[in-house]
Chains A and B, each alone.
Chain A
Amino acid sequence: MNHVLQAEKRKGLRLSDLLVTILLSLALGVVYHFWSSVYDLFKPLFFQADELVYGVWFLAPTLAMLLIRKPGVALLAEVAAAHVEILFGSEWGVQLVLYSVAQGLAAELVFALLRYRSFKMGTAAFAGAAAALGSFAVDVYFGYVTDYTLGMMLFKYVLRIISSAILAGYLAFALAKALEATGVTQLLRPVTQKDYEALDHD
């Protein structure tokens, strides 16, 4: 019982939180790496159709946060996932570091604004959309996207935000729910004092 109380006091990231976050993100990083080819497949569908699947690249921060539920996890997850891509010699190279930090921070911000207490589907969708906005911020500076014609720019980024809300929000939430059903999340969020009190009543 004392041990449980102590565990609850240590709110920071423990080694097991870190390891789970990073391994999860590295596995997703491999998906990220091969996702470029899916992304290219969507290109001929209609103009800018590739943006429809862009949201997968923001899956790591929301999924990790929904599972671990501790500050800093979203940022760490996105950076770790980008690390794999760089490790595999991605053609996008070092600029991915910048993108991942911006995207991870943006997603983190949404959870932080809700004081790390809300882990509903809507929150995840907002976090996904925020990550898309983070990538937009880097794009503005980097790829001069504000120099696109206005209609084109709006079309591209509205598609991306929708895709991120669905894929990084809804899909991540569904995955987290499915993982909760398997019982593994009990390893990550050990029983708290509250759970013990719930048992005391009857």
Chain B
Amino acid sequence: MIELLKPTRQTVLLRTNPAIKLVLFVALCLVTVLTRNIDFAAYQALTYTVLLFAFGGFPVRKTLLLVLPFGFLFVSSSMTMILFGKGDTLWWQWGLFRISEESFYRGLHLGFRSIAFAAEGLLFVSTTPSVKLFYALMQNFRLAPRFAYSFMASIRLLPMVWEEFLIRRQALQVRGITVRGKGLRGMAEHVRLYAVPLLSQSIRRAHRVAVAMEAKQFDGGGKRTYYYPSNVSWTDAAAVLLLALAPCAAYAAAVVFPWFGIADVRYHS
């Protein structure tokens, strides 16, 4: 899974300092959170999806595959609001379902925003190897090394947990153990057979690795050197410009070519 999401294309965003990029993406996320205008939300969804194709770390075909679930995401995040939202201009009512003009547009707005979030997230993940991110956070933002190295070591240990899961499953098969009971009881049985051994084994392993890392002073607070130096360069200025222009362009488009023309989708009685 981690291998699958490894960036394969070189873009401006891939060369950007990951710590700076994280700040930029949190800022973009906040802009999206604060958006109340439906057109702005729609154009943000569009802009970030285009950016994902243009500057994401994956080839177009793979990006297309990742973008496909956006349609489902749109429906699932907008449907509840469309069917059950408050609103005065009633369009259709059947039992509990109640679609009004306001709730319909509010639902669409939520859908667009979900797509914007998803595209932002994918754009960040597809251009940021996590090891680089933690090295940059340690050097540029003074994240305590014990946090950063714990994360990096845990990510490396994760595939072992998966391997252990497969071994456990085979072991249970060899012993001819079948899960008794269906529904909730079956689920509890699954938890007992899998979760307890897997979790206890990962606690043991994490503890062993931690003891070794402590011995090698990975938790030390003193001065240290880093295998991957993390610098700030002109590429970062380009990335700042690109990611600042994107929401501005979306906003301009929303002002000049509005689709729906609703400035605030929240309910006002």
- Residues of A in contact with B (beta carbons under 8 Å apart): 13-16, 18-24, 26-27, 30, 47, 67, 80, 83-84, 86-98, 141-144, 147-149, 152, 171, 175, 178-179, 182, 184-185, 187-188
Contacts and interface: CB of A to CB of B under 8 A. Distances in A.
Interface stretch (B192-200, B229-237, B244-252): B192-200
B207 interface: yes
Contacts, number: 171
Q: Is the interface of A mostly helix, strand, loop or mixed?
A: helix
A94 B48 CA distance: 13
Given A88-B5, A94-B25, A15 B207 contact: no
Smallest CB-CB A-B distances: 10 pairs: A93-B121, A16-B210, A15-B219, A18-B150, A93-B117, A23-B206, A19-B210, A23-B154, A22-B154, A147-B267
Q: How large, as a class, is the contact surface on chain B?
A: 35 or more
Contacts of B209: 19
Interface stretch (B8-16, B81-89, B169-177): B81-89
Given A144-B106, A175-B199, A187-B204, A19 B154 contact: yes
B121 A90 contact: yes
B214 A16 contact: yes
B200 A182 contact: yes
A87 B196 contact: no
Contacts of A47: 96
Nearest to A76: B147
Interface stretch (B65-73, B135-143, B253-261): B65-73
Given A86-B124, A96-B121, A144-B267, 20 more contacts: A14-B214, A15-B210, A18-B210, A19-B207, A20-B206, A20-B207, A21-B150, A22-B151, A22-B154, A86-B125, A87-B2, A87-B5, A87-B125, A89-B125, A94-B29, A144-B81, A144-B85, A148-B80, A148-B85, A188-B203
B195 to A, nearest CB: 6
Contacts of B26: 94, 97
Contacts of B241: none
B146 interface: yes
A93 B196 CA distance: 30
